[in-house]
A and B are shown apart, each in its own frame.
Chain A
């Protein structure tokens, strides 16, 4: 397992002008990103939908790389999306997944079969042309440039250290600096999309 923030710092070097949906990595990415107008920190609109949202955005903007930092809890809620992504095969979609083996924001309870699910194998079996799994940062650092250089869709499972939150939702400190609507609007302005 490795630290999400350290991984994101490495990713940032190769991000280029990709759109980034930081997902559960948002609280860290917020401090690391140098192109916030190309970031979409969505918070948690409804669990299970991040990958399909990223697919929709990738299909809509084929000229841009779309990078998603999904989570295993989110993906488990809608794993059929892997087949849809593989069928659509957007060459600009880079599907990273943070696997902390638990529901960190509800107190750290384990996800089903937490330590034994091979998400990269599932993605490959669903039809992704490339799939990787990393449990140490060194391997990730070596491969990330090539992962982002070659066309998608690609799936990258990463074992990350849980950052468990036990505070009730209403008492949690907000890390977002923009509302969701502001983030969407700024991205659309950057992309020249009429709202």
Chain B
């Protein structure tokens, strides 16, 4: 097994975290950092996948689910998260939605110089909205996903999990 393979965040781990934390619905728009989850999520009977066409719609959908007593997770990319700022503000924060958003951290790297402005502004964006975040890179970081769920539930606010997995995706 190569170092890269050992370092990956496996889809089984992410799915196990979702199930452990009672997720009922995955509100998502595919991205290159989290695409590896799709087939497993689709095959998981306890999850309903709700595909949206723009990331802003994910926050309002999640708000409706949460008001109705369900436990959604949002799965989007950092680029779309930034486009969805007003929806995050109005629906996510405005309706006190205790939701975890797993965000594909496009452009993130720990081994070189960042050349992607999507990565440049990701954490600054989250800081501007006062959204706490946890970086996950590999299976060893799985407890951080549960920490994000616990924090969202406790604070009744969105909490981000940044998927900084360099070895998946197409970039």
Known pairs A45-B90, A48-B87, A78-B57; A188 contacts B67 (CB<8 A):
yes
* Complex interface: chain A residues within 8 A of B68 (CB): 56-57, 59-61, 191, 193
* Best-surrounded residue of B51, B65, B70, B72 (most CB of chain A within 10 A): B65
* Complex interface: chain B residues within 8 A of A60 (CB): 64-70
Write the nearest CB–CB distance from B69 to chain A, whole angstroms. Answer: 4
* Complex interface: chain B residues within 8 A of A45 (CB): 60, 63, 90-91, 94-95
Contact with B along A68-96 (1 / 0, CB 8 A): 00000000001011011001100000000
Asked if residues A46 and B69 are in contact (CB atoms below 8 Å), the reply is no
In the complex, whether A54 has a CB less than 8 A from a CB of chain B is yes
Interface size class, chain A: 20 to 34
Asked if residues B65 and A57 are in contact (CB atoms below 8 Å), the reply is yes
- Bound Cα distance from A27 to B116, whole angstroms: 46
- Bound Cα distance from A44 to B69, whole angstroms: 22
- Bound Cα distance from A47 to B96, whole angstroms: 17
Give the residue of B48, B50, B53, B91 whose beta carbon is less than 8 angstroms from that of A49: B91
Total interface residues on B, CB under 8 Å, equals 32
Asked if residues B25 and A80 are in contact (CB atoms below 8 Å), the reply is no
Asked if residues B64 and A55 are in contact (CB atoms below 8 Å), the reply is yes
In the complex, whether A50 has a CB less than 8 A from a CB of chain B is yes
- Bound Cα distance from A184 to B72, whole angstroms: 17
In the complex, whether B141 has a CB less than 8 A from a CB of chain A is no
- Bound Cα distance from A49 to B95, whole angstroms: 12
141-195 of chain A: CB within 8 A of chain B: 180-181, 184, 187-188, 191, 193-194
In the complex, whether B19 has a CB less than 8 A from a CB of chain A is no
In the complex, whether A20 has a CB less than 8 A from a CB of chain B is no
* Best-surrounded residue of B27, B53, B60, B64 (most CB of chain A within 10 A): B64
Asked if residues A80 and B52 are in contact (CB atoms below 8 Å), the reply is yes
Write the nearest CB–CB distance from B77 to chain A, whole angstroms. Answer: 16
In the complex, whether B12 has a CB less than 8 A from a CB of chain A is no
Contact with B along A27-60 (1 / 0, CB 8 A): 0000000000000101011111110111111111
* Complex interface: chain B residues within 8 A of A49 (CB): 56-57, 59-60, 63, 87, 90-91
Q: Which residue of B lies closest to A78 (CB)?
A: B57
- Bound Cα distance from A178 to B18, whole angstroms: 35
- Bound Cα distance from A47 to B60, whole angstroms: 10
Asked if residues B67 and A184 are in contact (CB atoms below 8 Å), the reply is yes
Known pairs A46-B89, A60-B68; A53 contacts B63 (CB<8 A):
yes
Asked if residues A80 and B57 are in contact (CB atoms below 8 Å), the reply is yes
* Complex interface: chain A residues within 8 A of B44 (CB): none
- Bound Cα distance from A28 to B48, whole angstroms: 36
- Bound Cα distance from A78 to B87, whole angstroms: 11
Given contacts A45-B95, A56-B60, A184-B95, 4 further A-B pairs with CB under 8 A are A46-B94, A53-B67, A55-B64, A84-B61
Residues of A within 8 A of B (CB): 40, 42, 44-50, 52-61, 78, 80-81, 83-84, 87-88, 180-181, 184, 187-188, 191, 193-194
Going nearest first, the 7 A-B pairs with the smallest beta carbon separation are: A56-B64, A60-B68, A80-B53, A46-B90, A49-B60, A45-B90, A193-B69
Could you jot down 26 A-B contacts, CB within 8 Å?
A: A40-B67, A42-B95, A45-B94, A49-B87, A49-B90, A53-B61, A53-B64, A55-B64, A56-B66, A57-B64, A57-B68, A59-B70, A60-B65, A60-B66, A60-B68, A60-B70, A78-B56, A80-B52, A80-B54, A80-B57, A84-B51, A84-B53, A180-B94, A180-B95, A181-B96, A193-B69
